[in-house]
Chain A
Amino acid sequence: MTAWTRKLLPAATLLAMTFAFTLHLRNAEAWRGGYGGGSFRGGVFDEGYRGGEAYAGPRETEAVEGPRGGEAMEGPRGGEAIQGPGGNAAVRGPQGNVAIGDRAPVLPAGANRVVISGQTYFVYGRVYYMPFYYGGEITYVVVENPHD
């Protein structure tokens, strides 16, 4: 094995592992089990709801509480910096950067429910979430601070 091979092998292995894991996550998102799983309508198990968007279902591999409540609940994407669907400016959140428009299948532990002008929000730190149905699942979307 040459010196160059020895140097490149760990990087190549890491790259391959990253690719494989990313592929697995994408596939995991593509699989739609549960309530919407047994539909014969177009795209029964198509590429997520809208093709490759970063949507984590209720039992996906991201930090989501399991159906029986046995898994650790963690904030949306564990504080990972992500970009919203429309490339919106990031908002500094309590667990990292979240952006207006980001969707999370669960709320950060400790988020509080508040009602402002008749609309329910969940607030954690300075980040406001609004509940929606996205497909058949409730999802929490990061919205602008209604007080701003």
Chain B
Amino acid sequence: MKFRLSFLALAALSLSIAVASAAQAQNSAPPDTNKVLQGMCDYLNSLKQFSYQAEVSYDAPEADGQSVQYDFDMVTYVHRPDRLRVDAKGDGIDKQFFFNGRTITLYDRKAKMYAPMDVPPDIEGALERANKDFALRVALADLASPKLCDHLAKAREGARVLGVSHVRGVASHHLVLDRKDIRVQVWIETGAKPLPRKVLITDKNLPGSQEWIAYLTQWNIAPKLNDPLFTFVPPSGAERIQFLPVKNSTPSKPEGSPAKNGDKK
């Protein structure tokens, strides 16, 4: 009887060790890169509204081949499907980006100049028009696009998960996405809320591997965002200018300006 009990205890112990080892092996297996990425995209897309802050640092190459680093902070508000606002303030930057479902307005608070552009009535359409027609890109605004994963997949030559890291105390999958020209590293929170916690972009073509780094903090997945937040109201003294279109960088004479003498047109 004694022998039988000991045998059973030993068997149970062996079984538990085997189960624990299997579980550990399963946990240590790297997750599928595309699944982690898609999980982040799906989760962000599932959020009707969200906001976050970002602390950005980026290298700026100088003539002697060395770099200096500059910083700015961003606050982003997203209200799907047709509202987006990005404020950025820091070294050389004090800008506000508004999209209210009809118009994108970019306002430089330092220069007190703003410009509107008519855009399609959804975030992806608006960002795409701003990029294609006016070369306007806004840092991390693509996180608000329902096509985020498509943009991340463009021209991708390789992708892998390095493992779980900790970004400011938040356990995050560390992903490396390689393109010919750049390397994008993204840290995505583990667990039920796969939010991006850090983004690092490295230019492969420049000497010194110039970097653009953002830590994403203060995520709010249920903020109360009102319409006025997304509509630009020109402050007193602000001046309206135009976006220079990509296809025609030489501006024509502005409307209302005096006609040139002898102008044949």
Contacts and interface: CB of A to CB of B under 8 A. Distances in A.
Binding site secondary structure of chain A:
loop
A66 to B, nearest CB: 7
A117 B134 CA distance: 26
Interface stretch (B27-35, B225-233, B236-244): B236-244
A27 B88 CA distance: 25
A38 B214 CA distance: 8
Among A21, A84, A136, the most chain B Cβ lie within 10 Å of the Cβ of A136
A27 B137 contact: no
Contacts of A40: 142, 148, 151-152, 154, 184
A136 B95 contact: yes
A38 B96 CA distance: 16
A130 B249 contact: no
A21 B106 CA distance: 34
A42 B131 contact: yes
B56 interface: yes
Interface in A130-145: 130-136, 138-139, 141, 143-144
A24 B65 contact: yes
A31 B70 contact: no
Interface string A62-93: 00001110000000000000001110100000
A66 B92 contact: yes
Interface in A98-148: 100-101, 103, 116-120, 130-136, 138-139, 141, 143-144, 146-148
Nearest to A32: B137
A24 B115 CA distance: 32
A6 interface: no
B139 A37 contact: yes
A33 B65 contact: no
Contacts, number: 184
A33 B58 contact: yes
A41 interface: yes
B246 A36 contact: no
Nearest to B54: A38
A112 B117 CA distance: 28
A88 B249 CA distance: 13
Interface of A: 21, 24-25, 27-28, 30-42, 44-46, 49-50, 53, 58-59, 61, 66-68, 84-86, 88, 100-101, 103, 116-120, 130-136, 138-139, 141, 143-144, 146-148
Interface of B: 54, 56, 58-63, 65, 70, 72, 88, 91-93, 95, 106, 108, 111, 113, 115, 127-128, 131, 134-142, 148, 151-152, 154, 181-182, 184, 199, 201, 203, 205-207, 210, 212, 214, 239, 241-244, 246, 249-251, 253-254, 256-258, 260-261
